[in-house]
Amino acid sequence: MQLDLLNIEEGVEQNEDFVPGGDFNLDTDIYPMVVDMAYFGESKGGAMNVTARFKEVDGKRTHQEVFYVTSGKAKGQKNTYTAKNGTVRLLPGMESMNQLSVITTGKKISQLTPEEKVVAIYNYEAKKELPTKVAAITEMIGQEVQVAIVRKRENKRVKVGNDYVPSADERVFNEATKFLHTDGHTVAEKLAEDPDTAWKTKWKDDFDTDYMLDKYKPVALGAGVEAASVATAAATAGTIEDMFADD
């Protein structure tokens, strides 16, 4: 496992604490959770990812999500991207997993040592969970963290030729937008020894439990999935998701 790909180079702009506009049915909220499992994986295109499973502290609700920490091999397996203004930033998945690592272990994710474990993972060919060897991030497991989760709506992606493009169908799911220390501080606030939990307070003020982050875009019907999807893909070109388009 090449964790050196996750080293953060000098000059990379750290993302600010901004409030963004498992069970897949959690209300939008900040949940005290425990890291139930975390392990590294790799897409067919060589993009490194981390699958993180969380379970609620003193509760039964859960959340599972895959975070991409590098782009694929065709795009250099980078953990950064260049924003429109030319600023080099960490990929959102890399930023999230580095935050989670610092909160739960006190180390950057590149400094962790994965261990081989056998985990039950759903196998699409067998259509059931099968025991699978993974590179588990054992230092995170069992550690508590606060997880800011939103409900999100977007277009389902369908395969057209060799590419996956948006369709007219929708999907609604949960997404972790931020990880906080157990006292409610962000990583940046903790490093600055800020006594306030300003990010959490603003987030709770701005978003109620019914909030949904709506990224769905209408797709024209009548010209076939291919034509409609290609038109939508062109309209959304240049996004971070493009880094994983072939993965």
Question: Exposed e or buried b for every residue in 6-17, given b needs 16+ CB within 10 A?
Answer: bebeeeeeebeb
CA atoms within 13 A on the CB side of 108: 12
Residue 232 makes CB contacts below 8 A (sequence gap 6+) with 155, 165, 166, 217, 219
Beta strand segments in the chain, E: 29-42, 48-56, 62-68, 80-82, 88-90, 115-123, 128-136, 144-160, 163-180, 212-214
pLDDT in tens, the chain (247 residues): 556 666 766 655 555 444 333 445 899 999 999 999 999 999 999 999 999 999 999 888 999 999 999 999 999 999 999 999 999 999 999 999 999 999 999 999 999 999 999 999 988 889 999 999 999 999 999 999 999 999 999 999 998 888 889 999 999 999 999 999 999 999 999 999 999 999 999 999 999 999 999 999 998 764 445 444 444 444 444 455 555 545 5
What element of type H or E holds 102?
helix 92-105
For strands 212-214 and 163-180, give the pairing.
unpaired
3-state secondary structure of 174: strand
